[in-house]
Amino acid sequence: MTTAGHNGSTKRHATPDAPYFVIHNSFEQTGAADLFGPTRDDDHEFLATYMPDDVTRDLARRMHYAAWRLSRVADLRRRAHWKAQYLSFRDRIVLGNRKLIYRAVQRWMPAAAWVDDMTGDCQIVLIQAVAAYNPWLGIRFSTYAFTCLMRALSRLSQRHAADRLSKSLPLESLPDGEPRDRGSAEQSPSHLPYVDEFLRESHDLLSSREKEVLARRFSMNVQTKSGTLEQVGRALGLSKERVRQVQASALDKLRKALSEEAAPR
């Protein structure tokens, strides 16, 4: 399956026996094998720094060329050769840009207990971003990949929040202002539903901003403290009062939804 792209490129989706790749009209030109062939192994130059965008773009073009050649040959030896070339270019880009992961996680400021999990999940996201990146569109890879990572961290944070809240305090113990100590919360009836369902990304009761505020405000993990209104506001670029308003709105929606679910039928 192919779709038209920009700058002479075409997108082709992965098949069971070949990875996703972007086709460019230069692949058919004389000398393409030399133009997009292996390069000098200089990855060690980027161990302490980010891989320059022009180097990333060049390796991405070679990676897509290798995948394109892989899709066009039937001989097993030639297929193994082009698959190895594809993986080599892809992995070099991932290693050269892996510092984007630490930058994104640091920017997100997750709870200490989540850092390892989020970093590991972001490794997969970075690999997927490298495979999907179109180097002919004029977009910086660092910009594209960082956006992918931040979106993934948002989804992961919401998932962690849902798991945490569903295993800890009931909704009625969450105040509109600062959270009380865990030990002071009154226990709710055992039949009261928990809120994890409403914090899932696919559920539309709360906006993404409301889910994010709750995720940062009500940390029930014993290894970390909840963020204050001021701390959450600073992280999200909001005023303390705005965070309180978003939190109050989200909790009001949750209380109404859960009250309806818990009502006798």
pLDDT band, very low/low/confident/very high, at 47 (cuts 50, 70, 90)? low
Q: Residue 31 has what pLDDT?
A: 87
Domain membership of residue 257 (yes or no) is yes
pLDDT more than 90, % of the chain? 29
| pLDDT over threshold 80, residue 22 | yes
**Mean pLDDT of the chain, nearest integer:** 76
Domain membership of residue 166 (yes or no) is no
**Same domain for 71 and 120?**
yes
Domain membership of residue 150 (yes or no) is yes
pLDDT (mean) for 182-209 = 61
Give the domain CATH number at 204. 1.10.10.10
**Same domain for 152 and 175?**
no
pLDDT tens-digit series, residues 70-97: 999 989 999 999 999 999 999 999 999 9
pLDDT band, very low/low/confident/very high, at 261 (cuts 50, 70, 90)? low
**Same domain for 38 and 73?**
yes
**Same domain for 182 and 202?**
yes
**Same domain for 80 and 179?**
no
Domain extent at residue 108: 2-159
Domain count, the chain: 2
Give the 3-state DSSP-derived string for the chain, with helices as H, strands as E and coil as C.
CEEECCCCEEEECCECCECCEEEEHHHHCCCHHHHCCCCCCCHHHHCCCCCCHHHHHHHHHHHHHHHHHHHHCCCHHHHHHHHHHHHHHHHHHHHHCCHHHHHHHHHHCCCHHHHHHHHHHHHHHHHHHHHHCCCCCCCCHHHHHHHHHHHHHHHHHHHHHHHHHHCCCCHHHCCCCCCCCHHHCCCCCCCCCCCHHHHCCCCCCCCHHHHHHHHHHCCCCCCCCCCCHHHHHHHHCCCHHHHHHHHHHHHHHHHHHHHHHHCCC
- Tell me the CB-side half-sphere exposure of residue 87, using CA atoms within 13 A: 7
Q: End of a domain among 159, 186, 214? A: 159
Q: End of a domain among 95, 130, 159? A: 159
* Inter-residue contact 163 to 196 (CB < 8 Å): yes
Task: Provide the angle, in degrees to the nearest 10, between the axes of the packed helices 141-166 and 99-108.
Answer: 50
Q: Residue 67 has what pLDDT?
A: 93
| pLDDT over threshold 70, residue 224 | no
pLDDT band, very low/low/confident/very high, at 10 (cuts 50, 70, 90)? low
pLDDT band, very low/low/confident/very high, at 223 (cuts 50, 70, 90)? very low
